[in-house]
Structure 1
């Protein structure tokens, strides 16, 4: 119990230190938020375009979806990328030799990613309050929705990020994950309601957590008139909890198994082999 407690404390300390480093370094903070800035800029120009069949602007519809992208992209891609890079440079091999070293490492990464998601949310909500009309930010129930969405969304996405990070062989392969994730964002109603999509595509979109993250975020920030653009004209909160909870359970069952298999494969010889391959590629 004492060893486990020490691992948790070390993980929290590690995550807190890494989060402070990112927040205090303008370059690191900018690199984590630059994609948001790129997506927020077009929102300003869409603020006068109305969503068909509603009195909600396209900008107001897209802005809550950016909150879901903050969770989805940071939880999945950011964690996966960090796992791949730090496996490549030997960090995970060193931690493997410590009692519960991988546990403390993952706790630290979860804290870091959760902190960055919270910073991104503040940036999105702040920009939304300034740039977009039609958001409903003054009701307590809407903030309560955001409060349960953030931890549940992270629980659904972070284990998936750990799984992908364990399976990807090198940092150069991250793009193989990014492309399908961006494609999934497109069909998940991030930029356009999926109610008008073919039925088979609606089913595909609802099978993945990103759609439910976006739906819950829209329910928190948009007026009831926006329901005209949603499937069944309902926010479906209970379905959202079940869907995200199911992905969280699935991820938490799969992630420890995949991480243990990845840790067993790590050794000095595998590190040396990766270094040799990297040197040959540079030489070529």
Structure 2
């Protein structure tokens, strides 16, 4: 008795070739990377404490030294805590953007994190979006803490009209963006992760001293004002003064006005310059790694 073998459909043995899974869109990857960067930043407790408390502590020091009930200029109605608050907001933005990214990217390059990351399917744009998102979130939280302390502890009046808050928003966003891209570009300068603090910290301190953060800008030597005018921190601090000080306080500026147009132009110029330099100089490997 003969048996017939079951007829097999040859097409059933054909299996589709393996297709690599598609990555999520750039927006989703950027959001996921932002969440990762924020969690990583939150684990660095010493950095969190420094970034969040430094502007608050400096405001408290200057308010105590100069007197919280003393006027910056007799008859101006502007007390020292109110005058120094804009500078502390500006320096907080610089710490969260320029200093934080210049340090973090240089360390990640030195310890091989960037090299390993480059070998993954993650697009480079998603990495930078994650860094930018982390800077924006950190800067916003830090500024919020500083404003709450200034209002509740030192009785600094907050703006009461939408126009001033709009100025605050565009100055903060433009300043944060410029600081972030300049920080990434500057990260190529330190030769190793161990030397990054020695390279970045002096730059930040010098800019703070010449940009009207710790002193009245109009009382600085003229040559120092001119040097500070080249860099973004001076314009970021001046833009913030236009938000938190009365219109009459514009007379304390060397130009006698807030110069919003020039502030936007200088910050935008540094944003573009940082992007150009960053694209040309950014490296995923250490100098000695090819």
Task: Report the TM-score, using the length of structure 2 for normalisation.
Answer: 0.83
Q: Paired residue for 2:54?
A: 35
Alignment of 1:159-174 (within 5 A): 159-173=181-195, 174=197
Contact 2:91 2:233 in 1 (8 A): yes
Contact 2:102 2:200 in 1 (8 A): no
Q: Does 1:131 align with 2:153?
A: yes
In the TM superposition, residue 100 of structure 1 has moved relative to its aligned partner by: 5.1
Q: Paired residue for 1:225?
A: 248
Q: Does 1:6 align with 2:21?
A: no
Bigger helix fraction? 1
More displaced, 196-205 or 64-73? 196-205
Q: How many residues align?
A: 266
Contact 1:55 1:226 in 2 (8 A): no
In the TM superposition, residue 32 of structure 1 has moved relative to its aligned partner by: 3.1
CA 1:24–1:122 in 2, change beyond 3 Å: closer, same or farther? farther
**Which runs of no fewer than 5 residues in structure 1 stay unpaired?**
272-284
Contact 2:81 2:156 in 1 (8 A): no
Q: Paired residue for 2:238?
A: 215
Q: Does 1:155 align with 2:174?
A: no
Q: Paired residue for 2:38?
A: 19
Task: Report the TM-score, using the length of structure 1 for normalisation.
Answer: 0.84
Contact 1:163 1:258 in 2 (8 A): yes
Contact 1:43 1:63 in 2 (8 A): no
CA 1:32–1:108 in 2, change beyond 3 Å: closer, same or farther? same
Q: Paired residue for 1:55?
A: 77
In the TM superposition, residue 188 of structure 1 has moved relative to its aligned partner by: 0.6
2:182 and 2:45 map into 1 onto residues whose CA distance is 29
Q: Paired residue for 1:275?
A: none
Q: Does 1:141 align with 2:159?
A: no
Larger C-alpha radius of gyration, 1 or 2? 2
**Which runs of no fewer than 5 residues in structure 2 stay unpaired?**
1-20
What is the CA deviation profile of residues 137-168 of structure 1, one whole-angstrom value per residue up to 9, with x for unaligned ones? Answer: 22111111111112111221111100111221
Contact 2:98 2:183 in 1 (8 A): yes
